[in-house]
Chains A and B, each alone.
Chain A
Amino acid sequence: MEAKAHVDLDNTETIYHPKEGGGGSILDIERFCLWYGRAQALFNNTLNIERGLVTALIGPSGCGKSTLLRSLNRMNDLIAGLSVSGTIVFEGKNIYDPDVDVIGLRKRMGMVFQKPNPFPMSIADNVTYPLKVDHVTDRRVLKETLEGALKGAALWDEVKDRLKDNALGLSGGQQQRLCIARAIAADPDFLLMDEPCSALDPLATTKIEDLINELRGRYTIIIVTHNMQQAARVSDNTAFLYLGRLIEYGETNAIFTRPRLKQTEDYITGRFG
């Protein structure tokens, strides 16, 4: 095995693995930096997210992968004292431009959180919530969306007889799939998943992973994960972040089999984390 170079944190250049074909870029992140107050959390991240593929963001705790994910649908806006530089271009427009409709942007980016967070209402109301906030009242549309989203999230067979029951009565894995159903009910372009399986048992995790495989192609999925095997199993592309810098980015296969940098190799083989 050849000796690998260490990262020079003061002068990081991301290493991009060459790739042929692919789905074409849907989201261009260009020299994106982010500060929480005075503390800088992201440094000059530049990457293109490919349409219809699953991109995994990996890296040790505190490396900024969740921050990067939440920057994409501007969930970070809720935090006081936040500032950014660089651009994230979606459909030819920087989403941090002042005239961007944030609510409209979020509707195109479904999000699934680390802990399942169903609302304290019925299963049906949970799934149709994105439609409710758009004032959709047509029963037929609601019903079709409900069924479609639940089927899409592989939950329909388990809950079709108790759609009026409170969603908090579901198991953890079911709740997380319900959250996925809720996210795809709005018919978004993206699914942003922030460690969606970290609160679930292995069986529920497998179900979610199968689901991600099924959803591939219909949505552009970006998933943050701590689980290397999971990243290897479900993703097409992988980005390795370390201390706020994007270190390596490329096809999952390439990253996992031929990492260029020592940090990347150490991390994916579990030597540090």
Chain B
Amino acid sequence: MSSTPSKRYVTGADLSSRGEPYLWSMGGALALGLIMIFGFLALVAWNGFVTFYPKPVEVLRLKDGTLVAGEPTRSEMYRLPKTELDSLDEQARKSVQENKGFGLRTLYRTGNFDLYNEDFVWVSEFKVAERTEPKNMYFVERTEWGPFIGSLEALMVKGEKLTAGLLTPDRLSEEHRKAVERRERVKGIERDEMGAINYELDRERLALRRISLDKGKDSPEYRDEEKRQDGRAKQLQTRYGLLQKEAESIKREDALYSVVLKDIRGTEKTLALSQIVRFYPANDLTFFQKVKVYVSRWFEFLTAEPREANTEGGVLPAIFGTFVMTVLLAVAVAPFGIMAALYLREYAKQGRLVSLVRICVNNLAGVPSIVYGVFGLGFFAYILGGTLDQVFFPERLPNPTFGSGGLFWASLTLAMLTVPVVIVSTEEALAAVPQSMREGSLACGASKWQTIKNIVLPKAMPGIMTGLILAMARGAGEVAPLMLVGVVKIAPSLPLDDLFPFLHLERSFMHLGFHIYDVGFQSRNSEAGKPMVFVTTLLLIGLVAVMNATAIYIRNRLKRKYYVGHF
């Protein structure tokens, strides 16, 4: 039996009809995607996690005799300009020339901005004569002017000078703890308690102005109110005066405690003890002490307010702002998106018009977010907010209340931005509910609405939640539109406080995404802000991940409820 191979057999052996090459390219595409994602996460995580770990302080004696003390941050190769090459001594020039004109240089964080007018300095490797790590070098974080790097000479307590012999570390940290307490107390008085009185005075003033606007200045109501307020204002002013005195006495006491610092070049600097945030002998730390510094820095980062144009301190207001905004966004977007999708899928007559609406909704998801920002500012803040101000807060004009960007408008703008995501996913979830289930319910004599409420919506809920999660993730990471509708560099107060009505939706707020932009690209010293960019990015990713994980947890619970033992 002999036969030529059939045509069919030949085509079966053809490369294009076999799956392998495509399988490889598909796997490759997936691998590339995963590498990018994990590479990105690893970069952010590594940079974010090492930032707060205390680094040693190196003291360099250069060949020309100058001294430099600082934390080495990074090194790079660079091509020496001709003039610099010519000024070098014979030996150094030779080594550079061997390296094809390249030399190694290191960026040192020297701190002491008040003395040197710069925080960072590049030091070329071939200029260094000697490199040491002396144990008496301190890294001192201050409330102003950035860190100080130098030695700690003496502690002044009530005019008495405690120098090396009398200055034990315990005594120092004890006095520092007290000084920080005093600083916090002054801050508490000046910002919270006096702020509350100011707030109340302002409210009284506005109430009076309101009456004058409604009834006129000659009305009896106005005079009554004026009289009542006179007494009240006096009372408040007395309290204000008392607080002021207390703050001043604390400040006077505080001035008695100071430290004398000396930088590497011998310049002495006297600093109030309470201006020091944290200090440590950078080259004389055990591992345990380093971890302590690391933890205390993370704690400050997560729970304190920013200092030094956001490059130092914490990001609590930004965390809070991001969180509240995302929650408000979800609260606003869920009902609108779900109701719109329900109408489109369950009630509207499926025809050309509905298809057109659907296309428009899908296209809305592709509009650049800054356009939403402009719309939010123009429509929400200026038109809606301006009208609200005129109707409800005429006494505050011309100062806007709702008439400028704020938490509420930002949330609504983002809700608008993300509503297409919710509509599309809700529609898909509704379409995935089997027809047999609807029929079962209708056959039981349920009306259409009862069927939707009792059967369709619960069954579609996990899919709807997925859409909400996507919307939240997108909303939490959005920055561009927020810059127009309420996010600021530094917010004077949190949107939530102990003053009625507690949640102040009209206030501007801080946001982690904008914080990254501000710290990294808008600050005085981008080099100092760089590590903070990574830490803040890490935090933002973490926050979004935590919020999504919560939503996914809720969704999975719902799923478990509806999908038990599907055979």
Chain A residues close to B by CB (< 8 Å): 73, 75, 78, 80, 103-104, 106-107, 109-111, 113, 115, 117-121, 129-130, 132-134, 166, 168-169, 171-172, 179, 182-183, 186
Given contacts A120-B561, A169-B564, whether A113 and B444 have CB atoms under 8 Å apart is no
* Contact (Cβ within 8 A) A182 B444: yes
Closest Cβ of chain A: how far from B220's Cβ, in Å? Answer: 57
* Contact (Cβ within 8 A) B445 A106: yes
Q: Is B50 in contact with chain A by the CB < 8 A criterion?
A: no
The residue that B444 contacts in the complex, of A78, A106, A115, with Cβ under 8 A, is A106
* Contact (Cβ within 8 A) A107 B458: no
Closest Cβ of chain B: how far from A133's Cβ, in Å? Answer: 4
Q: Is B566 in contact with chain A by the CB < 8 A criterion?
A: yes
Digit string of B354-397 for contact with A (CB within 8 Å is 1, else 0)? 00000000000000000000000000000000000000000000
Q: Is B450 in contact with chain A by the CB < 8 A criterion?
A: yes
Docked CA distance A269–B173 (Å): 102
Closest Cβ of chain A: how far from B57's Cβ, in Å? Answer: 65
List of B residues within 8 angstroms of A109 by Cβ? 443
Docked CA distance A134–B445 (Å): 9
Q: List 29 A-B contacts (CB under 8 A).
A: A78-B438, A78-B439, A78-B442, A104-B445, A106-B442, A106-B444, A106-B445, A107-B444, A107-B445, A109-B443, A110-B444, A111-B443, A115-B436, A117-B439, A118-B440, A119-B455, A120-B459, A129-B444, A129-B446, A133-B446, A133-B454, A134-B445, A168-B562, A168-B564, A168-B565, A168-B566, A172-B567, A183-B443, A186-B445
Given contacts A119-B455, A130-B445, whether A113 and B563 have CB atoms under 8 Å apart is no
Closest Cβ of chain B: how far from A158's Cβ, in Å? Answer: 15
Q: Is B441 in contact with chain A by the CB < 8 A criterion?
A: yes
Docked CA distance A117–B455 (Å): 11
Given contacts A132-B454, A168-B564, whether A75 and B445 have CB atoms under 8 Å apart is no
Docked CA distance A171–B458 (Å): 22
A to B contact number (C-beta, < 8 Å): 83
List of B residues within 8 angstroms of A106 by Cβ? 442-445
List of B residues within 8 angstroms of A132 by Cβ? 454
Docked CA distance A117–B438 (Å): 9
Closest Cβ of chain A: how far from B238's Cβ, in Å? Answer: 62
List of B residues within 8 angstroms of A168 by Cβ? 562-566
Among A75, A78, A110, A120, chain B packs the most CB atoms within 10 A around the CB of: A120
Docked CA distance A78–B438 (Å): 10
Closest Cβ of chain B: how far from A224's Cβ, in Å? Answer: 14
Docked CA distance A104–B446 (Å): 9
List of A residues within 8 angstroms of B441 by Cβ? 119, 129, 133
Closest Cβ of chain A: how far from B240's Cβ, in Å? Answer: 60
* Contact (Cβ within 8 A) A129 B564: no
CB contact list, B426-468 vs A, under 8 A: 434, 436-447, 450, 454-455, 458-459
| Apart from A78-B438, A104-B445, A133-B445, 10 more pairs, CB < 8 Å | A110-B443, A111-B443, A117-B439, A118-B440, A120-B561, A129-B444, A133-B447, A133-B450, A166-B564, A168-B566
Among A115, A129, A132, chain B packs the most CB atoms within 10 A around the CB of: A129
* Contact (Cβ within 8 A) B567 A186: no
* Contact (Cβ within 8 A) B442 A75: yes
* Contact (Cβ within 8 A) A169 B565: yes
Closest Cβ of chain B: how far from A199's Cβ, in Å? Answer: 11
Among B434, B442, B459, B566, chain A packs the most CB atoms within 10 A around the CB of: B442
List of B residues within 8 angstroms of A169 by Cβ? 564-565
List of A residues within 8 angstroms of B445 by Cβ? 103-104, 106-107, 130, 133-134, 186
Closest Cβ of chain A: how far from B162's Cβ, in Å? Answer: 74
Closest Cβ of chain A: how far from B123's Cβ, in Å? Answer: 69
Chain B residues close to A by CB (< 8 Å): 349-350, 434, 436-447, 450, 454-455, 458-459, 561-567
* Contact (Cβ within 8 A) A120 B447: no
* Contact (Cβ within 8 A) A113 B454: no
List of B residues within 8 angstroms of A130 by Cβ? 444-446
> Of all chain A residues, which has the CB nearest B349?
A80
Docked CA distance A169–B350 (Å): 35
Docked CA distance A78–B562 (Å): 25
Docked CA distance A121–B563 (Å): 10
List of A residues within 8 angstroms of B438 by Cβ? 78
List of B residues within 8 angstroms of A183 by Cβ? 443-444
Closest Cβ of chain A: how far from B257's Cβ, in Å? Answer: 69
The 8 A-B residue pairs with the shortest CB-CB distance in the complex, in nearest-first order: A107-B445, A111-B443, A169-B565, A120-B562, A166-B564, A117-B436, A117-B440, A133-B446
Closest Cβ of chain A: how far from B466's Cβ, in Å? Answer: 17
Docked CA distance A121–B456 (Å): 12
The residue that A186 contacts in the complex, of B437, B444, B459, B563, with Cβ under 8 A, is B444
* Contact (Cβ within 8 A) B443 A103: no
The residue that B563 contacts in the complex, of A78, A120, A172, A182, with Cβ under 8 A, is A120
> Of all chain B residues, which has the CB nearest A112?
B443
> Of all chain B residues, which has the CB nearest A105?
B445
* Contact (Cβ within 8 A) A103 B455: no
Docked CA distance A130–B436 (Å): 16
Closest Cβ of chain A: how far from B436's Cβ, in Å? Answer: 4
* Contact (Cβ within 8 A) A75 B563: no
> Of all chain B residues, which has the CB nearest A132?
B454
List of A residues within 8 angstroms of B447 by Cβ? 103, 133
List of B residues within 8 angstroms of A110 by Cβ? 443-444
Docked CA distance A182–B459 (Å): 19
Closest Cβ of chain B: how far from A143's Cβ, in Å? Answer: 19
List of B residues within 8 angstroms of A172 by Cβ? 567
* Contact (Cβ within 8 A) B444 A133: yes
* Contact (Cβ within 8 A) B565 A120: no
Docked CA distance A129–B561 (Å): 17
List of A residues within 8 angstroms of B564 by Cβ? 166, 168-169
List of A residues within 8 angstroms of B566 by Cβ? 168
* Contact (Cβ within 8 A) A75 B454: no
The residue that B434 contacts in the complex, of A111, A117, A171, with Cβ under 8 A, is A117
* Contact (Cβ within 8 A) A75 B436: no
Given contacts A168-B564, A169-B565, whether A119 and B440 have CB atoms under 8 Å apart is yes
Docked CA distance A5–B473 (Å): 72
List of A residues within 8 angstroms of B563 by Cβ? 120, 168
* Contact (Cβ within 8 A) A166 B565: yes
Among A78, A104, A171, chain B packs the most CB atoms within 10 A around the CB of: A78
Closest Cβ of chain A: how far from B345's Cβ, in Å? Answer: 14
* Contact (Cβ within 8 A) B443 A73: yes
> Of all chain B residues, which has the CB nearest A171?
B567
Docked CA distance A132–B454 (Å): 10
Closest Cβ of chain A: how far from B558's Cβ, in Å? Answer: 10
Closest Cβ of chain B: how far from A238's Cβ, in Å? Answer: 24
Closest Cβ of chain B: how far from A185's Cβ, in Å? Answer: 8
Docked CA distance A183–B444 (Å): 7
Docked CA distance A204–B318 (Å): 62
Docked CA distance A171–B567 (Å): 8
Docked CA distance A227–B446 (Å): 31
Docked CA distance A118–B437 (Å): 7
List of B residues within 8 angstroms of A171 by Cβ? 567
> Of all chain B residues, which has the CB nearest A182?
B444
Docked CA distance A80–B455 (Å): 22
> Of all chain A residues, which has the CB nearest B447?
A103
> Of all chain B residues, which has the CB nearest A118?
B440
List of A residues within 8 angstroms of B440 by Cβ? 111, 113, 117-119, 179, 182
List of B residues within 8 angstroms of A113 by Cβ? 436, 439-440, 443
Docked CA distance A129–B444 (Å): 8
Closest Cβ of chain B: how far from A154's Cβ, in Å? Answer: 20
Closest Cβ of chain B: how far from A130's Cβ, in Å? Answer: 4
Docked CA distance A166–B563 (Å): 9
